[in-house]
Chain A
């Protein structure tokens, strides 16, 4: 490539974006809460058996207004990463998210979610405790909320574990985030019985922000600083703050009923063009 050609982010392959989305230095929910919100009070525990740190949530002020913030926490050092199970939540984590969202509904607080997980944890205990039920209930609850719900896919949006926090009136993605039905490794393993073909899977899965905007799955893309959000988090936070303020302002004008109906219509239309009448 000649030196005088402008190098834009457009030249990134889907696999490269996956790598950026997984970069250990990428700002996570804790950093975003720190930068964009004030007076954060963390709500912990599922009120039943435990506190899953891989889901982080609580109450904070956003430009002076009480809101609920919630997201997947991957942890920033190795100790925290292990404690957060590398961002893979347990059923208890999703139940904690549900009680935090119910409280938001009760007090009329808008909800921001920051999604960054490779998926829900596929372990024995998670199965024994009803991982499927916990995700299903989160999705169901989010679809019924009468407050504004704004979801940001920040890093990896992996499978049902991501969707459980991503049923919003607005779903927006950071430019290098990815969102998919399964991790590229899992996808390659299921379809081709070969997880080493993950890079190839990235290209056919349509998991980049551009692809998803075109498919109508997301509502907008937040540009990242050159090289990715980890190169200049402060710059990202500024753009994110502006964008979230704007979205909240728009949604705040809607009535509770209008908010629920708006969300229902949005997800009801998913896949509308993926079906047709045909001959059997």
Chain B
């Protein structure tokens, strides 16, 4: 937490200085897509990017996600430099990747890291929807698999914040194969007694739902997150009618038996700490 606070303090100090010089940027206004109220970015950031009026959970970056649950907001990122080679030589794809790398300062749609959560060393991953809708290509599959294998070897609990539009179309069949690769790694991890907490965030669909995200020992979800295999548009086209309100929401999945709990962002860290403690061996007691 101290890390986050220090960072925020520095940001505020910098802003104050800029204001004195008259160069401060205008505070960005956002409209909450759920309740329609106007919000400014600073207030949102102070509230973990959750609307203070209606509780709508805004998308956050993968690094923010990891920092939010880590002790002191600190973590050590792994394989950060891994990027795609554009295996299918897909038209326009390398340029798109370069733009997104520059914008997000990430190699691809995932961040993998080692962090401490409530004093327990954990392997943690988060997907990032800013990067091609967090679709899973070879980099996402490879970084996640390396993390799972490290967690298996070092007996670390595993926490994965999933989000995804599904497989990365631009990497075609290679993307599909990442489903098998990551699921097989989870299987081995589980076989060795490792605890895997899978957290569904908005939206988790397609090949990610149909692989590692659905293979947790514990399944959590953020309120209102869309969770499903086929996307709503595809289902509507298939059945030729509109889907009812709330179809495939986290609450819907809870009702249908695929999720243990819907956990608001404000309670996520505390919930994870409790789950690590409750698991003993495989969770907190694995730390040696």
| A182-B177 CB under 8 A given contacts A124-B235, A126-B230, A143-B187 | no
- Asked if B177 contacts A270 (CB within 8 A), the reply is yes
CA distance A270 to B138 in the complex (A): 8
- Asked if B176 contacts A181 (CB within 8 A), the reply is yes
Interface 0/1 of B242-270, CB less than 8 Å to A: 01000110000000111000000000000
B12: interface (CB < 8 Å): no
- Asked if A217 contacts B258 (CB within 8 A), the reply is no
Closest to B191 in A: A144
- Asked if A271 contacts B105 (CB within 8 A), the reply is no
| B185–chain A nearest beta-carbon distance, Å | 8
Stretch at the interface among A4-12, A225-233, A250-258, A272-280: A272-280
Q: Which residues of the other chain, A, contact B75 by a CB distance below 8 angstroms?
A: none
Q: Which residues of the other chain, A, contact B170 by a CB distance below 8 angstroms?
A: 191
B206: interface (CB < 8 Å): yes
Stretch at the interface among B21-29, B38-46, B76-84: B76-84
Interface of A is mostly: helix
Q: Interface size of B by Cβ–Cβ distance < 8 Å?
A: 64
Q: Which residues of the other chain, A, contact B211 by a CB distance below 8 angstroms?
A: 135-136, 139, 160
- Asked if A204 contacts B81 (CB within 8 A), the reply is no
Closest to A125 in B: B239
Closest to A271 in B: B138
A235: interface (CB < 8 Å): no
CA distance A159 to B188 in the complex (A): 24
- Asked if A268 contacts B181 (CB within 8 A), the reply is yes
Q: Which residues of the other chain, B, contact A186 by a CB distance below 8 angstroms?
A: 234
Q: Which residues of the other chain, B, contact A207 by a CB distance below 8 angstroms?
A: 172-173
The residue from A122, A139, A164 contacting B234, defined by CB atoms under 8 A apart: A122
- Asked if A123 contacts B238 (CB within 8 A), the reply is yes
A140: interface (CB < 8 Å): yes
Q: Which residues of the other chain, B, contact A275 by a CB distance below 8 angstroms?
A: 82-85, 138-139, 142
Across chains A and B, which 8 residue pairs bring their CB atoms closest together, nearest first?
Answer: A122-B230, A132-B209, A271-B138, A274-B138, A278-B83, A270-B177, A143-B184, A132-B229
What are 22 inter-chain pairs, A to B, with CB distance below 8 A?
A120-B210, A122-B229, A127-B229, A130-B214, A132-B213, A133-B210, A137-B214, A140-B184, A167-B184, A181-B176, A186-B234, A204-B90, A207-B173, A212-B173, A264-B184, A268-B145, A268-B185, A271-B142, A272-B142, A274-B137, A276-B82, A280-B105
By a beta-carbon cutoff of 8 Å, the part of chain B in contact with chain A is 80-85, 87-88, 90-91, 101, 105-107, 137-139, 141-142, 145, 167, 169-181, 183-188, 191, 205-207, 209-215, 228-230, 234-235, 238-239, 243, 247-248, 256-258
Instruction: Name 20 extra pairs, CB < 8 A, besides A124-B239, A136-B215, A191-B170.
Output: A123-B235, A123-B239, A127-B235, A132-B229, A139-B184, A143-B187, A144-B191, A160-B229, A164-B210, A181-B172, A205-B88, A206-B172, A212-B173, A267-B184, A271-B181, A273-B85, A274-B87, A274-B137, A276-B85, A279-B81
